[in-house]
Amino acid sequence: MLRLLYKINKDKIVYRIINKEAVLLNLESGVYYSLNKTGADIWQYINEGKCLDEILDSLEARHKINRQKLKRDLLALIKDLEREKLIAK
């Protein structure tokens, strides 16, 4: 089970959703990031306080994609966001 809960580092990050994509700016490094529609959905779910299991359930219902592929892709994105200090546990 993926009961892990992440939070956006709001004191270090500003973001906007534009045309169903997320544009993020790390205020410390000045680096911009872009997330596609599914990535923007994940970002919004994190912002809403959903745990990874809830995010996975929402993605599966919304996108009708194989759960194992969704899980693998979700965990890869979470790892990247955490490494870049855009989110934290």
Handedness of CA 33, 72, 88, 20 (dihedral sign): positive
Whole-prediction pTM value?
Answer: 0.91
Question: What pLDDT does 2 receive?
Answer: 75
Average pLDDT over residues 41-64: 94
What average pLDDT does the segment 30-48 reach? Answer: 96
Whether the pLDDT of residue 1 is over 70: the answer is no
Rg value, the chain, Cα: 12
Instruction: Indicate the domain borders of the chain.
Output: 7-84
Q: What is the mean pLDDT of the chain?
A: 93
In this structure, what token pair is assigned to residue 23?
Answer: 């544009």
Cα separation, 30 vs 28, whole angstroms: 6
pLDDT band at 62 (very low <50, low <70, confident <90, very high): confident
Tokens of 43: 């970002």
**pLDDT greater than 70 at residue 25:** yes
Of residues 23 and 2, more confidently modeled: 23
- Quick check: helix, strand or coil at residue 67? helix
Is residue 7 within 8 Å of residue 80, measured between CB atoms? no
